[in-house]
């Protein structure tokens, strides 16, 4: 059976002390989240190590927000999958729309990054999603499908056991404009169908597909009640421990 997950993408927020404090606050409240809901937090690179130590022994796993498309060497400013793994992370987010939009992250690069992350034993949260123009042109199904095909169709059914997909419509990220539960569900179902076409129904059924984009305590329950929505990738609301845990509790609503 697929796992329910609530993951917090802190983006470029918090300096070290604030990050450790936030991680501890989340850990202190983690027991309030349903036992079958996995919790992941993704702080900035600078405090992955301290945050991983702060939540050691709790149910919270730590993710990076990106990783390099090379293993090591002359790549100034980059952080490799091995480096991420060595400081206590078990996941990395890849292909977030902010990285695609501002840092030229292509599907091609994401294939490399995913390969290297999996080779290091990291799990991958792969983000896909259409922008407003594409949604208005009615291209949202096609855009998500091609992002899934371009990246994940290079991997095996076994690899899929360590890959989570996050559907994040770009127009809903940080805008307060959440996709309706129906809008999200129809894309999630389409992503699952796309995965089934390549990897078979069982792998598709077992893949966790998260929704992201202005998900908050007040709308999480309706989103999570959908058949193909298995949790959330949370930005703004993950910066408050109370809100983050309240979102995880929405599974009980």
- Identified binder of ligand PGA from the candidate list 169, 217, 231, 235, rule CB under 6 A: 235
Among 33, 39, 55, 233, binds ligand PGA (CB under 6 A): 233
Give the Cα separation of 183 and 141 in Å (integer): 11
Q: Which helix (H) or strand (E) holds 17?
A: helix 16-29
Q: Which residue is nearest to ligand PGA (CB)?
A: 235
Comparing CB distances to ligand PGA, the nearer of 81 and 237 is 237
Task: Determine, following the binding rule CB under 6 A, whether residue 40 of this chain makes contact with ligand PGA.
Answer: no
Is 188 part of the annotated catalytic residue set? no
Q: How far apart are the first and last CA of the chain?
A: 20
DSSP 178: P
Per-residue exposure over 169-198, b if at least 16 CB sit within 10 Å of its own CB, e if not: bbbbbeeeebbebeebbbbbebbbebbeee
Residue 139-178 contact track with ligand PGA, rule CB under 6 A, x = bound: -----------------------------x----xx----
- DSSP strands (E only) in the chain: 4-9, 37-42, 60-64, 91-94, 123-128, 163-167, 209-212, 231-234
Q: Clarify whether 120 is annotated catalytic.
A: no
Q: Which is nearer to ligand PGA, 143 or 203 (CB)?
A: 143
Piece of the chain touching ligand PGA by CB under 6 A; list 47-55, 66-74, 131-139, 230-238 = 230-238
**Which part of the chain contacts ligand PGA (CB under 6 A), choosing from 137-145, 179-187, 195-203, 208-216?**
208-216
Tell the smallest beta-carbon distance from residue 141 to ligand PGA (Å): 21
Contact 19, 8 (CB under 8 A): no
Count of CB atoms situated within 10 Å of the CB of 75: 12
Given 168, 185, 188, 190, which residue is catalytic? 168
Read off the tokens for 214.
């202005």
Whichever of 116 and 213 has its CB closer to ligand PGA, that residue is 213
Helix (H, G, I), strand (E, B) or coil at 39: strand
Our CB check for ligand PGA shows the closer of 4 and 199 to be 4
Nearer to ligand PGA, 6 or 55 (CB): 6
Phi, psi torsion values for 232, nearest 5 degrees: -140, 155
Q: Binding residues for ligand PGA, per CB under 6 A?
A: 9, 168, 173-174, 212-215, 233-237
């Amino acid at each position: 059976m697929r796992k329910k997950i609530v993951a917090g993408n802190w983006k470029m927020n918090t300096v070290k002390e604030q990050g450790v404090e936030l991680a501890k606050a989340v850990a202190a409240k983690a027991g309030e989240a349903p036992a079958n809901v996995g919790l992941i937090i993704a702080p900035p690179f600078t405090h992955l190590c301290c945050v991983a130590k702060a939540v050691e022994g709790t149910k919270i796993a730590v993710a990076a927000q990106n990783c390099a498309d090379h293993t090591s060497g002359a790549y100034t400013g980059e952080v490799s999958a091995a480096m991420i793994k060595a400081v206590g992370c078990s996941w990395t987010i890849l292909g977030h729309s902010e990285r695609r939009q501002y840092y030229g992250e292509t599907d091609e690069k994401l294939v490399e990054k995913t390969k290297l992350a999996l080779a290091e034993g990291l799990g991958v949260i792969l983000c896909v999603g259409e922008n407003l123009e594409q949604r208005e042109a009615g291209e949202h199904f096609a855009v998500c499908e091609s992002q899934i095909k371009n990246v994940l169709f290079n991997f095996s059914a076994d690899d899929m056991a360590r890959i989570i997909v996050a559907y994040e419509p770009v127009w809903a990220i940080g805008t307060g404009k959440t996709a309706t539960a129906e809008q999200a569900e129809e894309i999630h179902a389409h992503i699952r169908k796309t995965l089934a076409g390549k990897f078979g129904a069982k792998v598709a059924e077992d893949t966790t597909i998260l929704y992201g984009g202005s998900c908050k305590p007040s709308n999480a329950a309706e989103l999570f009640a959908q058949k193909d929505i298995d949790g959330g990738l949370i930005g703004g609301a993950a910066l408050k421990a109370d809100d983050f845990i309240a979102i995880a509790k929405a599974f009980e609503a």
